[in-house]
Structure 1
Amino acid sequence: MTTEPTPAATEAATSSSTVYGAPCWVTLMTRDLRAAHDFYGAVMGWEFRPARLGEGFSVALSGGRAVAGIGALASAFHVAVAWTPYFAVRDADETAARIRERSATVAVGPVAFVLGRGALAADRDGAVFGIWEGELPTGWEAWRSTAPAWVRLHTRDAFDAAIFYGEILDWACGRPGCCDVEYVGDEVVLRSGDRAVARLSSGALGEAPDPAIRPRWQVHFPVSDVERGVTVALRHGGTVITHEPGVQATLRDPDGGLFTLTDAAAADG
């Protein structure tokens, strides 16, 4: 697990005890930090600064604002390179217990860090996600409002998944700060305040040989020019998994991490 769910180990602005159940950060667990900087710097135009967690960690910045964390821990933990969303929770131990009680897996943690406690888990279909209890970074409200990243769960049954995540993350519980759930066609939309912060979609195949169509949380990055992103990614060793020209493209970075570029105008809509 990359320990970047501390969200980049920056000063705190708010807490998971007041805003909970919502995605609060995304992080890439990779093997080679420098290679990740080279690739995502070229494709996304990101700059990077060190995190306080050590040489193996960095924070990706766009226009000076924190977008995501990157940690070179995939080899140390013997896990796949992946982009992972983290969800704010009131109590990491209680949430971990709920995950286990519902036949899902807590792979790492909860582990204590400078600003709180985090854990890495997988739901009953194998989709990997993180939980975070503690302080959220300065600028988190801007991170949520500008949405430099958003997440979608590709799963077998979105409605069943919504029940699972609702029970462990207190979605639609009616308490101040919790997320609301909206059913839109065959999708489940997660809202924090008036903003859609995640979507859950049916149709993934649990035993599929292609990891792109297995159950997973997919991290989307809105960009102004999807086609430029695809071209630059290919030039720097990435591969295209799916591509809807001008709308979105799911790519694999040279180390194996899957992510999606989405047209920013479409995302705003």
Structure 2
Amino acid sequence: MNHDTTSPAGANSVFSTHSVSGAPCWVTLTSRDLKATEEFYSAVLGWQWRPTRLGDHFRIALADGAPVAGIAAVAAMWQMAVAWTPYFAVASANEAVFRVQERGGTAAVGPLSIPPGRVALLADRDGATFGVWEGKLFTDWETWRRAQPAFIRLHTRDAFDAAIFYGEVLDWASGRPGCCEVQYEGDEVVLRSQGDVVARIESGALEAAPDPTIRPHWQVHFAVDDVAACVRAAELHGGSVLSKGSDEAVLRDPDGAQFTVTARRGRG
């Protein structure tokens, strides 16, 4: 039975969230205009597209044939924000939702059963949106990470407090098989899974007071071979460039979703 959806699951997968507990395992984009979304990300990131059984508003993005993201053009229809959202692998979506609510976060959607797994859309206590997925992964986790996503970064008011929140919800540094390792490097909290940097949390200097002007959010970074070419393509196809450097650029697609392109590197 084939379950092509914008959730991080697929019929032929034999890879489980248990193997990468607490690590990012999928990303989705809510947009308003599917055609414009396809054209923009095809031009900027070289993606191809595959339909899903959810209908005409949904697509799976492919990089060199590998599934890398889910696209849902339902922002206007469902009155949702246009945004990229990361999903973390968990052993139990129900338990993750309980932990989030117990620690002052909120559950926006779910947990919902989407065979062969369960999904929930959540927000941390500062309002940053993220999801959790329990069950079989869309594809091999290493294949997914190597195909396009580099890592995700949480911009928040208090990195230390956020690391405690996510660590308790997602079992970071718990010593359990497959759990993520957490380290403090300079002004950032760094999350590693199987030796790779998969997430970073930043808020400025860790000893500084929380910055009330920051709107907490997760930023999805995509690994690319040519940052400058992505910048040019974004400008030519209706997007905008918020900042750019030789190794990284922050872009906004035509619908307003923000993401980062980062020069492809070896293991973090």
Q: Secondary structure at the match of 2:238?
A: coil
Map residues 16-165 of structure 1 onto 2, 5 A cutoff: 16-145=17-146, 148-165=149-166
Contact 1:10 1:138 (8 Å CA) reproduced? no
- What is the match of residue 6 of structure 1? 8
Mapped to 2, the partners of 1:145 and 1:30 lie a distance apart of: 25
SS of residue in 2 equivalent to 1:161:
helix
Displacement of 1:157 in angstroms is 1.4
Answer whether contact 2:195 2:267 (CA < 8 A) is retained.
no
Q: CA deviation at 1:85?
A: 0.4
| Contact 1:181-1:191 at 8 Å conserved across structures | yes
CA distance in structure 2 between the aligned counterparts of 1:149 and 1:65, rounded to whole angstroms: 15
Quote the Cα distance in structure 2 between the aligned partners of 1:232 and 1:37. 13
**Structure 2, gaps ≥5 residues long:** none
**Alpha-carbon displacement from aligned partner over 1:180-229 (angstroms, at most 9, x marks no partner):** 11111111111112111111111498764xxxx52110001111111111
Q: Give the Cα–Cα distance (whole angstroms) in 1 for the partners of residues 119 and 159 of structure 2.
A: 25
Aligned amino acid, residue 154 of structure 1? H
- 1: CA distance between counterparts of 2:240 and 2:204? 23
The AA in structure 1 aligned to 2:129 is V
Is 1:258 matched up with 2:258? yes
Q: Which residue type is aligned with residue 247 of structure 2?
A: V
Relative to structure 1, is the Cα distance of residues 121 and 150 closer, same or farther in structure 2, using a 3 angstrom cutoff?
same
- 2:180 corresponds to: 179
Give the AA of the match of 1:202: S
* Structure-2 separation of matches of 1:85 and 1:147: 14
Aligned amino acid, residue 259 of structure 2: F
**Which is helix-richer, 1 or 2?**
1
Deviation of 1:240 (Å): 1.3
Determine the C-alpha separation between the residues in 2 that align with 1:134 and 1:140.
13
Q: Return the offset for 1:146.
A: 5.0
Structure 1 residue 58, shift from structure 2 partner = 1.1
Deviation at 1:145, TM superposition (A): 4.6
Give the 4+ runs in structure 1 shifted more than 6 A. Answer: none
Between the aligned partners of 1:261 and 1:239, the Cα distance in structure 2 is 13
What SS does structure 1 have at the residue aligned with 2:149?
Answer: coil
Letter in 1 for 2:109: V
Checking the alignment, whether the CA contact within 8 Å between 1:67 and 1:149 is kept in structure 2 is no
Give a deviation string over 1:21-70, Cα, whole Å, max 9, x none. 00000111112222110110111111111123332211111111122111
The C-alpha deviation readout for 1:74-102, integer Å capped at 9, x for no partner, is: 22331210001000111111110110111
AA paired with 1:128?
T
User: Against the structure 1 CA distance between its residues 107 and 156, is the aligned structure 2 distance closer, same or farther, given a 3 Å change threshold?
Assistant: same
Identity across the alignment (%) = 57
For 2:149 and 2:11, locate their aligned partners in 1 and report how far apart those are by CA, in whole Å.
17
Shift of 1:72: 1.5
Secondary structure class of the residue paired with 2:7:
coil
- For residues 234 and 12 of structure 1, the distance between their equivalents in structure 2, rounded to whole angstroms, comes to 37
**Is the contact made by 2:149 and 2:220 (CA closer than 8 Å) also made in structure 1?**
no
Paired with 1:196 and 1:170, the residues of 2 have a C-alpha distance of 17
Shift of 1:10: 4.5
CA contact (8 A) 1:26 1:149 kept: no
CA distance in 1, matches of 2:69, 2:8: 11
Q: In structure 2, what residue type is equivalent to 1:148?
A: P
| Counterpart residue type for residue 203 of structure 2 | S
Higher mean Cα deviation, 248-257 or 70-79? 70-79
Gaps of 5+ in 1: none
Measure the CA separation in 1 of the matches of 2:67 and 2:238. Answer: 25
